DNA sequence: GATAAAATTGAGAATGAGTCTCAAAATAGT
DNA sequence: ACTATTTTGAGACTCATTCTCAATTTTATC
């Protein structure tokens, strides 16, 4: 939790911005768990302890967290944008159950290296990738 | 173009629906090119020739095209939903340039088989997958 | 520490893609 | 032609996200 704070603060300072109280609360809540999240869930979570952080500030802070490299927008499969940690997490792909919404995270060096190879062939400079499959999880496919 | 019509008509009949004039126009326009598309672009395209097809009907018809297996929703990386042909197109992955918006389509049996393998390990029944990477294309990375 | 300038915030209005409603038009069966 | 059913276009509605702006907080200057 301290490391994320350092990364964020460093980024903010480099942009002439400050780690204010609301930004700190948002940062802490985002990194309180490792789950994927969306703005509404984050807002509810924050509101349990802090009645004075607004949606507007959350919406304004998320791009800062993305820019600082701490989180990224994840594969969008539902109505709402959602996000996941990048800092401290290896690249992984997602198996998303269409029925129960469960997200299975899978690491694969193989997949990663194939993508890199393909990108090289096309002279494409990969910043980040999203690999996802939709279908039915074990429980839901019976 | 005729084959798509047969597929669509067969699907519609199976659901007790009809291949009406607006649906035919939408089908034709969707398959007039092989490009990815979104509703707004499709609407503009259609309007060049047919002033009497409404957005509502386009929004209503797209799920029918998806259900019939002719198109699918593609990796959403921008604000609007967008779609691409499935009928007559092999599975492929996308390299999307963040700067110019260019989409490079790449086939890869390797990537496909790895995904299948991973899905099997997790007892996950894949209905469809989206593999994509964001970054900079050759032209934009100089 | 008072004062002025700059950055940040919360509240709520505005936007816009996608969905829904409903009356009118098209279609199919008799 | 008559009726029941489906489909349509127009526009109202929803809801996640963005924008606006006045009030508050922070920082710099004296
Ligand atoms: Mn994840
Ligand atoms: Mn494609
Ligand atoms: Zn499931
Ligand atoms: Zn480019």
Contact between B36 and B86 (Cβ < 8 Å): no
pLDDT tens, residue by residue, A116-126: 999 999 999 98
pTM of the model: 0.88
Say whether A102 sits in a helix, a strand or coil. coil
Record: fold of A2-85: Arc Repressor Mutant, subunit A (1.10.10)
Structure confidence at residue A98 as a pLDDT band (50, 70, 90): confident
- For residue A127, which of A116, A141, A139 has the smallest C-alpha distance? A116
E strand or H helix that includes residue B127: strand B125-136
Please name the member of B104, B124, B135 whose beta carbon is closest to the beta carbon of A138. Answer: B124
Domain B93-141: give its CATH superfamily.
Ferric-uptake regulator, C-terminal dimerisarion domain (3.30.1490.190)
**Cβ contacts of B97 on chain A, cutoff 8 Å:** 124
CB count within 10 Å of CB A12 equals 17
Distance B68 CA to C19 C1' (A): 21
**What stretches in chain B show pLDDT beneath 70?**
77
Equal CATH topology for B2-85 and B93-141? no
Tokens of A7: 């990364």
A119 HSE (CA, 13 A, CB side): 23
State both tokens at B115.
Answer: 């995904």
Alpha-carbon dihedral angle through residues B30, B36, B41, B47, given to the nearest 10 degrees = -20
* B93-97, strands of its sheet edge to edge: A103-106, A93-97, A125-136, B125-136, B93-97, B103-106
Query: Tell me, what's the pLDDT at A18?
Result: 92
When pLDDT is cut at 50, 70 and 90, the band that residue A47 belongs to is very high
Residue A48: strand, helix, or coil: helix
The nearest alpha carbon in chain A to B73 belongs to: A77
Q: Nearest C-alpha of chain B: how many angstroms from A117?
A: 11
Note the CA–C1' distance, A19 to D30, in angstroms.
Answer: 27
Could you report the per-residue pLDDT of A8-30, keeping only the tens digit for each?
A: 999 999 999 999 999 999 999 99
Which residue is it, tokens 């500030």?
A: A57
Give the pLDDT band of residue A4 (cuts 50, 70, 90).
Answer: very high
pLDDT of residue B48: 94
User: Whole-angstrom distance between the N-terminal and C-terminal Cα of chain A?
Assistant: 40
Task: Show me where the domains of chain B are located.
Answer: 2-85, 93-141
d(CA B132, ligand 4 centre) in Å? 15
pLDDT value for A101: 78
How many residues comprise chain B? 142
Per-residue pLDDT, A73: 92
Q: Is the dihedral of CA B84, A131, A2, A6 positive or negative?
A: negative
Nearest Cβ partner of B111 from A98, A111, A124? A111
Task: Test B122 with A95 for CB contact under 8 angstroms.
Answer: yes
Nearest CA in chain B to A130: B132
Predicted pLDDT at B41: 95
């Amino acid at each position: 939790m301290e490391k994320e704070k350092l990364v964020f603060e460093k980024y903010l300072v480099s942009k002439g911005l400050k780690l204010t109280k609301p930004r700190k609360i948002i940062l802490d809540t985002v990194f309180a768990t490792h789950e994927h999240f969306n703005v509404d869930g984050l807002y509810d979570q924050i509101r349990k302890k802090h009645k004075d952080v607004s949606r507007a500030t959350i919406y304004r802070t998320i791009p800062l967290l993305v820019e600082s490299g701490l989180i990224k927008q994840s594969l969008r499969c539902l109505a709402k944008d959602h996000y996941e940690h990048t800092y401290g997490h290896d690249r992984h792909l997602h198996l998303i159950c269409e029925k129960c919404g469960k997200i299975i995270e899978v690491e694969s060096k193989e997949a990663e290296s194939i993508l890199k190879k393909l990108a090289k062939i096309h002279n494409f400079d990969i910043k980040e990738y999203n690999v996802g499959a939709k279908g039915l999880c074990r429980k839901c496919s019976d």
